[in-house]
Amino acid sequence: MRVLVCAKQVPEVTDVQVDPETGTLNRDGVASILNPFCEYAMDLALDLKKGMDDVEIVVLSMGPPQARAALMRCLEMGADRAILVTDRRFAGADTWATALTISKIVEKLDKVDLILVGKHAIDGDTAQVGPELAECLNIPQVTYAVGLELDEKRRRVRVRRETDRGHQVVQMRLPGLVSVSKGAALRRVCSFQDILEARRKELITMTADDLGVDESELGLKGSLTQVVKIFPPVEREAGRVVDGTNPPLAARQVVEFLKDKHFV
């Protein structure tokens, strides 16, 4: 059985700002990490593999050459092999062009039973590439998973998913795609041994030439949406700050404020 995890390298988003003068994104000196929700997808893949020797976890990342670091992290966590999908011709891809590109790679892999993705990446926050990928591959999907179970015949998975009202349990035929919103509660620290082993695992690179797709379908050219402007969000004006070392005094000031605003 083959499980494919799609992973994305993202900037530590709290450090990304728009330069108010030039209106461009300032990412200088911002650290890159493996998207936390992709890490959760890895957690569920590793859970599934537990006690099953014939499950292979392949991890794929589309991004700049530096995205290799995110793949190494997945290999250290326990993925079996990795594919870096990188090419300048992919630059500027929107969610559609990204999904199409990844789908072409998946079609090249021999038989994938289950695809696990993070529910969204913390930089783009779109949650679109997973479902668009599933549609490109004509396979079913379950989104916002917090856990999954394989049936005995390995033809279906039972997925527990978050909704805005609570949880659902959904059964899905394989092959299929699951987007993951929660993983392991405690993160296992990778050992020195894990790091050494990861370095010995296969990590191949694929480019636009490996896809067999017209260049007009890739990157910015193949994108259906265009970002025309970025700008900093409008900030609220800060109000007054009260010293809370004397709780009764501070509380009274807040109550006065709430009275003025007719909340009390």
Considering only residues 108 to 167 of the shown chain, the ones binding other proteins according to CB under 8 A are 120, 122-132, 134-136, 138, 140-144, 158, 162-167
| Strand 202-206 with 81-85, pairing | parallel
Cα 41 to Cα 180: distance, rounded to the nearest angstrom: 6
Min separation Cβ 104 and other proteins, Å: 12
Q: Does 33 bind other proteins (CB under 8 A)?
A: no
Only one of the segments 54-62, 69-77, 196-204, 256-264 lies at the binding site for other proteins (rule: CB under 8 A); that segment is 256-264
Min separation Cβ 235 and other proteins, Å: 7
> Token pair 């856990």 is at which residue?
147
Given candidates 111, 153, 200, 236, which one binds other proteins under the rule CB under 8 A?
236
CA 99 to chain centre: 13
Given candidates 31, 186, 189, 238, which one binds other proteins under the rule CB under 8 A?
238
Given candidates 65, 151, 171, 205, which one binds other proteins under the rule CB under 8 A?
171
Q: Does 40 bind other proteins (CB under 8 A)?
A: no
Count other Cβ atoms within 10 Å, centred on residue 11: 15
What angle separates helix 36-49 from helix 68-77, to the nearest 10 degrees? 30
- Please give the residues from 172 up to 191 whose contact with other proteins meets the rule CB under 8 A: 172-173, 176, 181
CB 2 within 8 A of CB 111: yes
- Please give the residues from 199 up to 228 whose contact with other proteins meets the rule CB under 8 A: 223-228
Q: Which of 153, 114, 149 is nearest to 134 (CA)?
A: 114
Closer CB to other proteins, residue 86 or residue 98? 98
Rounded to whole angstroms, what are the CA distances from 242 to 91, 238, 246? 49, 13, 10
Only one of the segments 44-52, 83-91, 93-101, 109-117 lies at the binding site for other proteins (rule: CB under 8 A); that segment is 93-101
Q: Does 230 bind other proteins (CB under 8 A)?
A: yes
The DSSP letter of residue 83 is E
Min separation Cβ 91 and other proteins, Å: 17
Q: What are residue 47's DSSP bridge partners?
A: none
